[in-house]
Structure 1
């Protein structure tokens, strides 16, 4: 059955909007997506820069886990260290429920400016930190909240300009997050022995500042601000729709499992005999293939159906974790998993906000994406510490940790399949 929240068709033959007003000029009409133009593609460029510095920085979590655990904070357990990247994920995603409301009411401008300030400030403060609590607060909270205010408006703005070409537009945006996950680990790995921890972080922060300035001047929402009264029911109403419920559950469970291999791949490779030098580049390898995974499947979704491609990539990722990562011991198999996992997980990451938007009214895109990611943030928060504690309980072995990750990804995959069914029934074809 079809979801009731799906947007109306294009402007041709369109009736008045729900509030009784006639269709507006095409640029501001809720249902007349330009599918291109200077402002639209500048927004895509700015959003790509935003995802590079926000999600791209977060995509380097595997390097943070290894560096903090082995060098900066060796007295702490893997589970304790895992709270740092997990809090980064939590505060980047949890803010979406509030940021989405601000975006729908006032647009992206103030969010982007304040997010730039917080993200850069958090990293600058981290550069002069040496204690666990200091790093938790500066990198895990302040910088991550800034990332959240940069990421959500960028993703939402792009989707106000495109519908039929939404995957084509979102491909480079989501792909840039993997590009950030390539550049930042390479920068950190190269700079650390040359300039030390403090200046490594400051150099990264200066790069982030430059790209954020570009994003602040190019990102623009197609729709004018539309302030509405805050009502908690607006956040609960989407959960009356089965499709939105199962999309949210799919994101939650998939995130719960997916970030565990991302976070522990470096340490797991070291434990299985891979050299330190090669292990530290695994995060960059994962994100290199993640560029392909986030760009190509999202664009293919325009042709084959966003739900269809999401499910295919989710199944592929789950099989990789359960059938390749769990039993693997050799260097070649770990490298193969890392490269393929970047493609599979990248596809799901890139398509998740697209399918959220696909089942959301245009005026609620910001709030609905934020709501779905709000709940997913708790999965991102707890997944890696749970995985780290399993490693401690199993005396440094990662088999059961990756089993937990694979099972979570499998549950998420089933949830995506149910969401597709509630949205479009059992029909084949583009969904």
Structure 2
């Protein structure tokens, strides 16, 4: 079986701007910068479970699970809705304005969080200002790297997205320790300084291969890609999948405390999840380039479903919860690298990658916004037990997996060939 992707996928003429010498020195520099971008953006978002637990026991102890969950839910929503605006800016002007503006908003937002004491202040600084900045940073890095690669795009994006795993691993391991040693305010300021340094590197290294030309804003651009059945069903599948996949990231710490795990051990579950997701970012990307990106996405989606329904629900002791964290991190980590790679695969013109990515994530973001407060409400409805949340998580991803199969068929037809 040949491993030449262009010979086996139906979009063989799509990325004509990427030649056989894809990548090169500048391309791999962009991967380095993109890695930094994902470290400070999606790596930060992956730490949200720590803040759900911390706010419930400190600044926002008088608020319910669902009310507190609106802060990380909106933060994640802003990350994804930013793909539509950021995609249009990227297609017109390239990554530079997104990187500069995103750096300013993200760093200033985190500094403002350090001074926040009320719900409104935390919401505006963390869920709006910082989140807008991290969204601009993430989509600048992802879209720029996508222009440099075709045959090894999933691998390149997998390496880039591993930055989010490392960022989450370090964040979930270090931030709780800093909370206890230097306090909340100085922890947030330390994070802001670290991110500023990494973004200086990103601003110097992230470039795009294509020539960007400013174009008039046309709202039809955000509708037209959905006329393609492959894009439409990919967006639907991602909507359902994302409705479930973030719930363990957000609620695993407090769910671990619920079953009797110590505070520090519960915090380590997210670190374990983040550590194994490094594997889940890179290896499935490499496999996707060889055996089909849709194929690997479908496989890892159903594996994640099996782990939630078969391991997380019956996990009533420390060992099972730790095993779930380790395996779920490896299986679910695929989505950060693979969904952008799938969007690029179904996009007919790499010059429009920003808009196509934006349209897909514009469909996804309502699921991200609603699922976490809904999960908090499910906990309250079940008298503090997490079973309803866990069932919802597994079923949402399961239905999403079915629609990934539909999207695969719409893009490349039936059969077991590499797609």
TM-score, normalising length: structure 1: 0.93
| Cα 1:229–1:355 shift into 2, 3 Å | same
Residue 374 (structure 2) pairs with residue 386 (structure 1)? yes
Task: Tell me which stretches of 4 or more aligned residues in structure 1 moved more than 6 Å.
Answer: none
Contact 1:7 1:31 in 2 (8 A): no
User: Which residue in the other structure is 1:232 paired with?
Assistant: 219
- Residue aligned with 2:22, SS: coil
- Separation in structure 1 between the aligned mates of residue 257 and residue 173 of structure 2, nearest angstrom: 18
- Residue aligned with 2:223, SS: helix
Q: 2:44 aligns with which of 57, 77, 93?
A: 57
TM superposition shift of 1:330: 1.2
Contact 2:15 2:150 in 1 (8 A): no
- Residue aligned with 1:246, SS: helix
| Cα 1:320–1:247 shift into 2, 3 Å | same
Q: 1:207 aligns with which of 194, 205, 216?
A: 194
- Separation in structure 2 between the aligned mates of residue 363 and residue 158 of structure 1, nearest angstrom: 13
Residue 253 (structure 2) pairs with residue 248 (structure 1)? no
Q: Residues 356-386 of structure 1: CA distance to partner in whole angstroms, max 9, x if unpaired?
A: 1100021111111111112211111111100
TM superposition shift of 1:351: 0.5
TM-score, normalising length: structure 2: 0.96
TM superposition shift of 1:6: 3.0
Q: Residues 299-327 of structure 1: CA distance to partner in whole angstroms, max 9, x if unpaired?
A: 11111111110001001001111111112
- Separation in structure 2 between the aligned mates of residue 48 and residue 244 of structure 1, nearest angstrom: 26
- Separation in structure 1 between the aligned mates of residue 18 and residue 149 of structure 2, nearest angstrom: 10
Contact 2:170 2:271 in 1 (8 A): yes
User: Which residue in the other structure is 1:23 paired with?
Assistant: none
Contact 1:10 1:33 in 2 (8 A): no
TM superposition shift of 1:168: 2.0
User: Which residue in the other structure is 1:258 paired with?
Assistant: 245
- Separation in structure 1 between the aligned mates of residue 306 and residue 405 of structure 2, nearest angstrom: 16
| Cα 1:5–1:430 shift into 2, 3 Å | closer
Contact 1:33 1:162 in 2 (8 A): no
Residue 413 (structure 2) pairs with residue 429 (structure 1)? no
- Separation in structure 2 between the aligned mates of residue 125 and residue 5 of structure 1, nearest angstrom: 48
Contact 1:123 1:143 in 2 (8 A): yes
- Separation in structure 2 between the aligned mates of residue 365 and residue 224 of structure 1, nearest angstrom: 13
- Separation in structure 2 between the aligned mates of residue 166 and residue 228 of structure 1, nearest angstrom: 26
Q: 1:156 aligns with which of 139, 143, 150?
A: 143
TM superposition shift of 1:297: 0.4
- Residue aligned with 1:197, SS: helix
Unaligned runs of 5+ in 1: 12-29
| Cα 1:265–1:178 shift into 2, 3 Å | same
Q: How does 1:39-118 map to 2 (within 5 A)?
A: 39-118=26-105
Q: 2:167 aligns with which of 172, 175, 180?
A: 180
- Separation in structure 2 between the aligned mates of residue 348 and residue 33 of structure 1, nearest angstrom: 27
Contact 1:170 1:299 in 2 (8 A): no
Contact 2:33 2:141 in 1 (8 A): yes
- Residue aligned with 2:246, SS: helix
Contact 2:144 2:206 in 1 (8 A): yes
Q: How does 1:208-357 map to 2 (within 5 A)?
A: 208-357=195-344
The RMSD of aligned alpha carbons is: 1.6
Residue 371 (structure 2) pairs with residue 368 (structure 1)? no
